[in-house]
Structure 1
Amino acid sequence: MNLDRRTFIKGTAASIALTSIASQETFAKSDKTYRVALIGTGWYGKSDLFRLIQVANVDVVGLCDVDTEVLAKAQKLVSQRQKSGKEPKGYSDYKKLLTEAKPEIVLIGTPDHWHPIMCIDAIKSGAHVYVQKPISVDVIEGEAMLAAARKYNKVVQVGTQRRSTPFLVQAKEKYIDTGKLGKISHVDICCYYHMRNNSNPPLQEVPAHFDYDQWTGPAPLRPYDGLPHRRWWRAFMEYGNGIVGDMCVHMLDAVRWTMDLGWPKKISSTGGIFVQKDAKSNITDTQTALFEFDELNVVWNHRSWGNAADPKYPWSYKFYGEKGTLECSTMMYDYTPAPGVDAEPEHVDVYIERKKYPEDLTEERIEMNAAPATRAHMLNFLEAIEKGGLPVADIEQGHISTASCILANISQSLGGRDLVYDPETRTVVGDPEATALLMRPYREGYTHPHPDHV
């Protein structure tokens, strides 16, 4: 499985993508029972685990969280969802979990700043990994995760589940793979959700049930101003990459998958905090990024204020071809032929699997529209483990999409200049200042992973 990166991107990505929907439909649940652990038992970590429980035989052998209240709630919920009814052991130290519980599959649902270290440690422990996006906060972390997956021959699936969304697979096969849109030279991607936390909570005492130092890990230790759960941590660049890292990564990855694209040739971005200036949050409220490919521009826009450019598609990706337009989101897609093209428009909505999985209906904060995609994504992950090969959202694909968004933020921080990243040399070509920003400093006591030393 030690494949050359460029051979993989150009040689096999298309075949994996084209067969993904078939594999989701035909890959049967095996008799094997997997020992599974979850690190980060908040909202989306549990959601991923529950989707895996629905499609595989699993024994959840451990849960890890630095908030004992969140952990206890997760233990109870998991005992109600897994067939054995067993309550998994709880851990505050993920390394102890890996050593004692010896999971075969590890799901990582922590905030972004912990993804790289935990993923690499889980791989080294012998586990296959399902890691949420974005995979990293800096580019070199992502390179190290990729190197570890290849060195230890482990399957790493990234939670960019648009690649496994049934109706979006249909849109890709029907309109992009067939060439029905003609030449595509422009794609719009965007997010206009008012998702930036604009509050100003006061400094507080850290509650006894929460290990703030351990939660912070390699990131800078901010003065404590409340539990970071439920998106407060996403308000800060110390822990992630803002709305670009959180939301653009999904849409850019979907475009790359749909059109079989590798690394952008050039990346630039401008933006800042233009409107919501009174909050503690230090992520941009307004940003545009340009990802340039061969005769193709992919343009990102986000605003966390005002109205969406298209209220029907506030978080979306739209392909503009000479023969028509294809608009896609997590909720629907629309095909519109260009004037003079003899074809009928088509609208398709997401299918919600209410009858097949009635437990979804009572799950707290579940994204009903995303559940079928995540289930299919888990099946694709298991198929790669059992049959070999790479999953549809392999760590390399997650790295390219994540790193491209990080590079956009680096460009924005440097005044919007063009950046050309070379993954072979791991440098920004001709730009030492930008290259220096590819690896962030870690807090004392933590060692930044490097691809040459995993």
Structure 2
Amino acid sequence: MHRRDFLKQGGSALALAALPLPVTLAARAQPKPLRVGLIGTGWYGKADLLRLIQVAPVDVVSICDVDSQMLSSAAELIASRQVSKKAPRTYRDYREMLKERDLDIALIGTPDHWHALPAIAAMQAGAHLYLQKPVGVDIVEGQALLAAARKYTRVVQVGTQRRSTPHLINARNRVIKEGLLGKVGYVEIYCYYHMRTRENPPDTTPPATLDYEMWTGPAPMRPYNKLVHPRSWRAFMEYGNGIVGDMCIHMLDMVRWMLDLGMPTRVSSSGGILVQKDSKANISDTQTATFDFDHLPVVWTHRTYGDAPDPKYPWGATIYGDKGTLKASVMSWDFIPRGEGTPLHEDVTYEFEQYPEDRTEKDLERHVAPAIRGHMKDLLACIENGQRPVADIEEGHISTSACILANQSMALGRSLTWDAAAGKVANDDEANRHLARPYRAPWIHPEARTV
């Protein structure tokens, strides 16, 4: 099933997906730098924004976070890095920030449960978007985001930046596009990082700097715990979709891009908390998922204990063809021919000479910085020419939805067949009741017909 089939979902808003984006900023003179705002000033929010500052003379005019300490430190850092040296305005509520309607681009770097509502509001306020992956925590959120992007003719780049990773672009061009793999019949994607917390700390009172009510937002309210904020919220399904939603989405999206795949027709998954039962985390420590793409199985595995089968590729993809095998990760790729042929290898690209601040920036994944810059350059070019970016919201929605279906399959104990025309699971009312998570009042869940 290809992308065009996935989008045949019946709604008039989604029908707009077939229309080309009109030229927006290119249609008028742009004498001043693009005005930028950031919602979510934590780890990756800052990493994304600072890469944008590196590649364009943007003006960061506003930032938003529910943690006042993180907000003030981010404002100071941004002032030191942007050309104007001006500190951005700061907000605790994204709705107040967006009332200004003065942004050309909004970056969303919040926890996953806070992706959909700010992203839709930013598009309604006139901003193009850099949206961190996954696009949302449920499938209906993704449908609403796609509908909003098309309705408001906004360029939306999703943070699945493997599509802009220099060495992976070369692997796609030199190996796959040149036919060195031959007929591809099977793909493995995997993560063996020990990334699931093993702690079980007591619940406490939220720090005075954090508006925990607003941080929780539409998610279920649970007692505050130090694992929740900052960054460790990924340990809880209330705020995301576990390791499948965090790590599988990157490798699944990379494989879809490399092999030109759309939405899987069937998804099945099994696993659970099989080993690390003492942790407060409620995400799986062991899980497999099979994504069927018209007789091409792409099989995911994660395990947060033990060793990786190939220590050189603890998080990556292995694509098997009848002429050879391609292993690819964020750090390198290797082509291994079957029989005669020349093995090929390439390591990650660093750009320290062009961007020396990469060497010293706190918490930056230095090997990812060139990919984020490439992603930002593509976003800027598409805003200028009215085209859709390499990780358009459509692509992000597909990869997000497939991962969400994997978790639903594991929870329900059965395979799920996706009905692209209806935009739901075929012949499974129980599964379809889980396409949208309940929102905590007073927050209202978005739907494609309401954006």
Structure 2 SS opposite 1:452: coil
> How many residue pairs align between the two structures?
428
Superposition pairs for residues 211-230 of structure 1, below 5 Å?
211-226=211-226, 228-230=228-230
Q: CA deviation at 1:100?
A: 2.3
Q: Is contact 1:269-1:287 (8 Å) kept?
A: yes
Q: Deviations over 1:135-184 (max 9, x none)?
A: 11000000000000001100000000000111101110111112111000
How far, CA to CA, are the matches of 1:301 and 1:68 in structure 2?
38
What is the CA distance between 1:31 and its match in structure 2? 6.3
1:87 aligns with 2:84: no
Q: Who is 2:372 aligned against? A: 374
Aligned with 1:420 (options 408, 417, 420): 417
| Alpha-carbon distance between aligned partners in 1 of 2:396 and 2:31, rounded to the nearest angstrom | 29
Among 343, 346, 353, the alignment partner of 2:344 is 346
Query: Residue type of the partner of 1:358?
Result: P
Partner deviation per Cα, 1:12-39 (whole Å, 9 max, x = no partner): xxxxxxxxxxxxxxxxxx9651100000
What pairs with 1:40-59 in structure 2 (closer than 5 Å)? 40-59=40-59
Q: Of 376, 384, 387, which aligns to 1:386? A: 384
Deviation at 1:57, TM superposition (A): 1.4
Query: Do the aligned partners of 1:65 and 1:92 also contact (CA within 8 Å) in 2?
Result: yes
Q: Which residue of 2 aligns with 1:152?
A: 152
How far is 1:101 from its partner? 6.0
Identity of aligned residues (%): 57
Give, as a single letter, the amino acid of the residue that structure 2 aligns with 1:439: A
In the alignment, which residue of structure 1 is the partner of 2:356?
358
Moved more, 96-105 or 146-155: 96-105
For residues 78-137 of structure 1, give each alpha carbon's deviation from its aligned partner in whole angstroms, at most 9, with x where no partner exists. Answer: 000001100111100101111126211000000000001111000000000100001110
Report what 1:450 is aligned to: 447
Which sections of structure 1, spanning at least 5 residues, go unmatched?
10-29
Quote the Cα distance in structure 2 between the aligned partners of 1:321 and 1:32: 50
What amino acid maps onto 1:409 in structure 2? Answer: N
Segments ≥4 residues shifted beyond 6 Å: none
| d(CA) in 2 for partners of 1:88, 1:293 | 46
- What TM-score do you get using the length of structure 2 for normalisation? 0.93
State the secondary structure of the residue aligned to 1:451. Answer: coil
Residue 198 of structure 1 and its aligned partner are, at CA, apart by: 1.9
Matched position secondary structure for 2:123: helix
SS at match of 2:289: strand
Instruction: Please give the secondary structure, in 1, of the residue aligned with 2:100.
Output: helix
Equivalent AA in structure 2 for residue 425 of structure 1:
A
* CA distance in structure 2 between the partners assigned to 1:187 and 1:7 by the alignment: 21
Kept in 2, the 8 Å contact 1:37–1:61? The answer is: yes
2:431 corresponding residue in structure 1:
434
Q: Distance in 1 between matches of 2:246 and 2:6?
A: 28
- Match in the other structure for 1:106: 106
Specify which of 408, 423, 448 is matched with residue 410 of structure 1: 408
Q: Which residue is equivalent to 1:252? A: 252
What per-residue deviation string (whole Å, max 9, x for no partner) do you get for residues 348-370 of structure 1? 10111111000111100111110
In 2, Cα distance between equivalents of 1:8 and 1:435? 17
Letter of the 1:429 counterpart:
A
Secondary structure at 1:335 match in 2: strand
Partner AA of 1:152 in structure 2? Y
Most deviating of 361-370 and 220-229: 220-229
SS in 1 for 2:59: strand
Could you tell me how far 1:424 is from its partner in structure 2? 2.9
| Conservation of the 8 A alpha-carbon contact between 1:61 and 1:101 | no
How is 1:21-420 mapped onto 2 (pairs within 5 angstroms)? 32-100=32-100, 102-226=102-226, 228-339=228-339, 342-415=340-413, 417-420=414-417
Structure of higher RCO (CA pairs closer than 8 Å, 6+ residues apart): 2
Q: Separation in 2 of the partners of 1:256 and 1:366?
A: 27
Contact residue 101 and residue 125 of structure 2 kept, 8 A: no
2:355 partner letter: Y
The alpha carbon displacement at 1:199 in A equals: 1.1
CA deviation digits over 1:350-391, x for unaligned, max 9?
111111000111100111110000000000011110001100
Q: Is the 8 A contact 2:65 2:92 kept in 1?
A: yes
Distance 2:242 2:145 in 1: 21
Residues 101 and 126, structure 2, Cα contact 8 Å, conserved in 1: no
**2:138–2:401 CA contact under 8 A, matched in 1:** yes
Listed one character per residue, the Cα deviations across residues 276-305 of structure 1 (whole Å, up to 9, x for unaligned) are 001111100000000011231100000011
Aligned counterparts of 2:324 and 2:166: Cα–Cα separation in 1:
22
Letter aligned with residue 399 of structure 2: S
| Conserved 8 A contact 2:206-2:212 | yes
Q: 1:32 to 1:172 in 2, by over 3 A?
A: farther
Distance 1:240 1:104 in 2: 28
Cα deviations by residue, 1:250-293 (Å, 9 ceiling, x for unpaired): 00000000000001011000000000001111100000000011
The letter of the residue matching 1:448 is: H
Q: Distance in 2 between matches of 1:311 and 1:132?
A: 28
- The amino acid of 1:402's aligned partner reads T
Tell me if structure 2 keeps the 8 A contact 1:62–1:101: no
Query: SS of the counterpart of 2:287?
Result: strand
Amino acid at match of 1:256: R
